[in-house]
Structure 1
Amino acid sequence: MTYTGRGSVRPHFVLVPMLLQGHTIPMADMACLLAERGAQVSFITTPVNAVRLAGFVADVEAACLAVRLVELRFPAAEFGLPDGCENMDMVQGKDLLLNFMEACAALREPLKAHLRHSAPCCIVSDKMQWWTGDVARELGVPRVTFNGYCGFSSLARYIINRDKVLEHVTDENKLITIQGFPTPLELTRPQCPGSLSFPGMEKIRDKIYEEELRCDGEVINSFRELETLYIESFEQMRRKKVWTIGPMCLRDSNTMAARGNKASMDEAQCLQWLDSMKPGSVIFVSFGSLACTIPQQLVELGLGLEASKKPFIWVIKAGAKFPEVEEWLADGFEERVKDRGMIIRGWAPQVMILWHQAIGGFMTHCGWNSTIEGICAGVPMITWPHFAEQFLNEKLVVDVLKTGVKVGVKGLTEWGNEQQEVMVTRDVVETSLSTLMDEGEAAEKLRVRAKDYAIKARRAFDEEGSSNNNIRLLIQEMGNTTNASG
């Protein structure tokens, strides 16, 4: 499928992701979506992050896509960061997060210099990269923000920011009614996006919001059929175009099968283990790349998994940072569950695992990437939000889509705070697993609805699917701008 806009100028999109894995991955998928349909893409990154993107680059080259990685030097030392600290997941402690954000903003001039001679038609940048608005205005091109939230969470976040809902709320347990939301919505302060803060964040947050108001539209990693009411309400309230071009991990009907065929040795071992399990019998537990669960809570979660007697794959961050967790794992736990439990330390092939027929449920932190991947796989979920907009994603899954059950966590798991108490007991973990995985009418309804949304997700990328059409429209509209100015 190629670009068919006016004239002969090939639309050149510049993509600027936030330097954080959960934000970079969907934008890498977006780069492929645009290039597969005839656009040229420059993908802005830094040297350390470029190494992480080696697999992406190999895939792009194999498919002969017009995607070019542009590496800009990251000024870590100039902003008091350790050498090589070029991704937010490498920042040690909240006190350095402002330094990291300021270092990102210092990429403004290098990016501007690079783009002066490359004739971009549009800059698509993560909403956290607010400074790209200045670059776009100086170059005289549109800036479209990439919104890593779904429509439901985007709308709630916009209302909360616009109306300054949290400004005078001091009671952490008081339920706040979100006025203007199209369906009833109540949250406590910790459950609202923006509740996670660090020194200087308010100033950055204001700049992000100001630039969102000035942008020329938004791209969302969702699809119309999933949350029509909330996407349409968001578009009407923002009075800007919203292109839903997701699920970005689902570029075509063969993508998932192809990923499975390119399995590494670790992935092959995981596949072999899954192949030995009964269909729908395994619970997959993963809390993403940034969530940091305290050791005591990890132990309690593990004991709940053990008590459930269910087969499981558990992605766990332990290692040198949490030696007590490693000691606990080695002190009998791994031996006791070895016949029905697989523990993966660090990175895991999440999409491949979720799409395996053995997976019957997904215990997730409700980050949007993980949530949309679970939806695409047709897997019901146990929701365990930690921070940011994850409590809103939980409400979408449990209350609107009705494809999940809550584990019941109400408080914020603060990033970088290792002094928190256990929020979810082993008994609650065991009960939630039984609710989701056991036989019975309620659990079956969850599974049926989850499968139905997976079908709708795939249809969004049919020839006349909503997301497929939106990608074509985005390229056409920005390409026409290029030709009109050229």
Structure 2
Amino acid sequence: MDAPQLQMHIAMYPWLAMGHITTYLHLANKLAKRRHRISFFIPKRTKAKVEHYNLYPHLITFIPITIPHVDGLPPQAETTFDVPLSLATLFMTAMDRTKKDIEPLLHELKPNVVFFDFALWIPSLARSLGIKSLQYITVNVMSVAFIESMKKQCQQNNLVEDDEMNLMNSPPAGFPDSSIKLHAHEVRGLASFMKLEVGGVSFMDHVCTGANLSDAVGFRGCREIEGQYAEFLESFYWKPLLLSGPGLPDPPNSTLEQKWAQWLARFNPGSVIYCAFGSECRMVQDQFKELLLGLELTGFPFLAALKAPIGFESVEEAMPEGFKERVHGRGIVHGGWVQQTLILDHPSIGCFITHCGASSLLEALVNKCQLVMLPNVLDQIFNARMMSSSFKAGVEVEKGEEDGLFTKESVCKAVKTVMDDESEVGRQVRENHLKLRNILSSKDLENTYNDSFCHKLQELLGG
């Protein structure tokens, strides 16, 4: 790889959620690999949780910051991981209050450019210091394109709330993918999210305003998969839109824990269901039970790595009565962390039930396991809809149109559909998954995008 003409110094300040922080840090590693320096603003105690992701400590420097206390947040809370979803918006207030600390740091560090996602005050602050700003958005291009275009259409037509809700049931005018539609419960959830306010500014406007004020906008993704959405979104921004590449996980430098390797080795290739919903998702107990009973109903062996449901300290105390005894020997529900990348790569895994977080989805797409999607919030819903409706590379678990609830039968049905390679749908999702896997695995795709991302950043800086 040729050395870049300009060694950039990049500051990063991601939203205070572990998924955003780790996504930014993975990007930092890609940039540091190309000899660029990174100053990474991170809450003091959270630093220890992510230091192991830093592959280039001589180039990536963590800058610890103190998160101001906000009434309603528990003491010591630093990220959304520390609180229930209902309190997440309070971190926006906390983040806004860090401006007085970030300003002298940027003045002292003098980076060429600062990356941010939700801190809408970054662009004007950076500009006053002669620093460029790039809003690097961690959710997929399609979800932002859908919401931006829908929001614009509502404003242009002066729609009242009921009309706005109706509009969200189908793609906005001109949106490039007619297959993407939302269910009634998803529309209500999205509408509620868009109305959330922090300091008089809606949560969504923190993203939209940041895009309007920044010098450029960036996404994790590639045009081979999300090109139509990127082109559509570019027409809204009228500024550079940079894609950093799919963000493929780095090859693991460890081996699967012996207890999991030995357990998985007991089963036939492609026969085990793996189920996991990321580091922050906590279900209500009724849905937690339905999920476990659905896994039992499939008859397949399974490994479920799940957080204890809301109101419970452990997964064991929330299990259905008699469940543990009935699935003994073929099913495990684990409440702790597991090596997901290595598990998905194991030949015994045939199906992955995922919440469709961007990183989990990508890890699944580069492996051979089939996708069953059970999204929880916002961008996860768009990720799932893109895979199931647009690419037809997986199957979503059916939910109630109005209440958004799933049943053990719907979990079982989705799993059996993708595991049956004789059915038409089963064959279709396998073929389409393979097409996406081949795109993502194509030689030098990631490196080409990473290099192009750096080159366009240098152009933005005038280098």
Using structure 2 for the length normalisation, give the TM-score.
0.89
Q: Partner residue of 1:434?
A: 416
* 1:88-135 deviation per Cα after TM superposition (whole angstroms, max 9, x unaligned): 1212462x4333211111122211211212221111112x22222233
Distance in structure 2 (CA, Å) of the matches to 1:386 and 1:374? 17
User: Match of 1:226, SS?
Assistant: helix
Query: What does 1:26-105 correspond to in 2, within 5 Å?
Result: 26-57=23-54, 59-61=55-57, 65-76=58-69, 78-92=70-84, 94=86, 96-105=87-96
Relative to 1, partners in 2 of residues 1:451 and 1:428: Cα closer, same or farther, differing over 3 Å? same
What is the distance in 2 between the residues matched to 1:68 and 1:27?
A: 13
* Equivalent AA in structure 1 for residue 173 of structure 2: Q
Residue 179 in structure 1 maps to residue 173 in structure 2:
yes
Residue among 324, 336, 350 paired with 1:334: 324
Aligned counterparts of 1:309 and 1:84: Cα–Cα separation in 2: 44
Q: Which has the higher contact order (CA 8 A, sep 6+)?
A: 1
Aligned pairs (5 A) from 1:346-365: 346-365=336-355
* Alpha carbons of structure 1 residues 233 and 160: separation in structure 2 relative to 1, 3 Å: same
The amino acid that maps onto 1:54 is E
Superposed, 1:197-216 pairs within 5 Å as 197=193, 200-201=197-198, 203-216=202-215
> Residues 194-343 of structure 1 correspond to what in structure 2 (within 5 A)?
194-197=190-193, 200-201=197-198, 203-250=202-249, 255-256=250-251, 258-261=252-255, 263=256, 267-318=257-308, 321-322=311-312, 326-329=316-319, 331-343=321-333
AA paired with 2:133? R
Residue correspondences, number? 453
Match of 2:454 in 1: 475
Q: 1:452 aligns with which of 414, 430, 435?
A: 435
Q: Secondary structure at the match of 2:94?
A: helix
Q: 2:455 & 2:404 partners in 1: Cα distance?
A: 51
Distance 1:186 1:451, change over 3 A: closer
**Displacement of 1:280:** 1.3
The match for 2:7 is 10
**How far off its partner does 1:259 sit?**
3.8
Give 1:106-185 correspondences, 5 Å limit. Answer: 106-126=97-117, 128-164=118-154, 168-170=160-162, 175-184=169-178, 185=180
Distance across 1 between alignment mates of 2:404 and 2:462? 58
Measured in 2, the distance between the counterparts of 1:423 and 1:448 equals 29
CA offsets, 1:189-221, max 9 Å, x none?
643584343853553432431221122222222
Provide the C-alpha distance between the structure 1 equivalents of 2:361 and 2:33, rounded to a whole number of angstroms.
25
Higher mean C-alpha deviation, range 198-207 or range 352-361 = 198-207
In structure 1, what is the equivalent of residue 405 of structure 2? Answer: 423
Secondary structure at the aligned position of 2:333 is classed as strand
Amino acid at match of 1:458: S
Judge conservation of contact 2:373–2:396 (CA < 8 Å) in 1.
yes
1:386 aligns with 2:376: yes
The residue identity in structure 1 corresponding to 2:43 is T
> 2-side partners of 1:183 and 1:221: how far apart?
20
Q: Which moved more, 1:25-34 or 1:224-233?
A: 224-233
Q: Which runs of 5+ in 1 are unaligned?
A: 413-420
Partner residue of 1:418? Answer: none
Q: Distance in 1 between matches of 2:336 and 2:260?
A: 14
CA distance in 2, matches of 1:134, 1:186: 36
Q: Secondary structure at the match of 2:274?
A: strand
The alpha-carbon distance between structure 1 residues 391 and 168, as it changes in their structure 2 partners (threshold 3 A), is: farther
Pairwise CA distance, 1:162 = 2.4
Query: What is the root-mean-square deviation of aligned Cα atoms in Å?
Result: 2.7
The letter for the 2-side match of 1:46 is P
The 8 Å contact of residues 79 and 103 in structure 1, kept in 2 or not, is answered as no
Q: How far does the alpha carbon of each residue in 1:424-481 deviate from its partner, in whole angstroms, 9 at most, with x for none?
A: 111111111111112314313322321231221122xx44x3x433322332343456
Residues 356/332 of structure 1: CA separation in 2 closer, same or farther (3 Å cut):
same
How far apart are residue 170 of structure 1 and its match?
2.8
Q: Deviation at 1:362? A: 1.4
**SS across alignment from 2:338:** coil
**Equivalent residue of 1:342, what SS?**
strand
Q: Identity across aligned pairs (percent)?
A: 25
| Structure 2 letter corresponding to 1:70 | I
Q: Distance in 1 between matches of 2:357 and 2:192?
A: 14
State whether structure 2 residue 20 is matched by structure 1 residue 23: yes
Q: Give the distance between the partners of 1:50 and 1:392, measured in 2 at CA.
A: 30
**SS state of the match for residue 322, structure 2?**
helix
In the alignment, the residues of structure 2 paired with residue 306 and residue 480 of structure 1 have an alpha-carbon distance, to the nearest angstrom, of 55
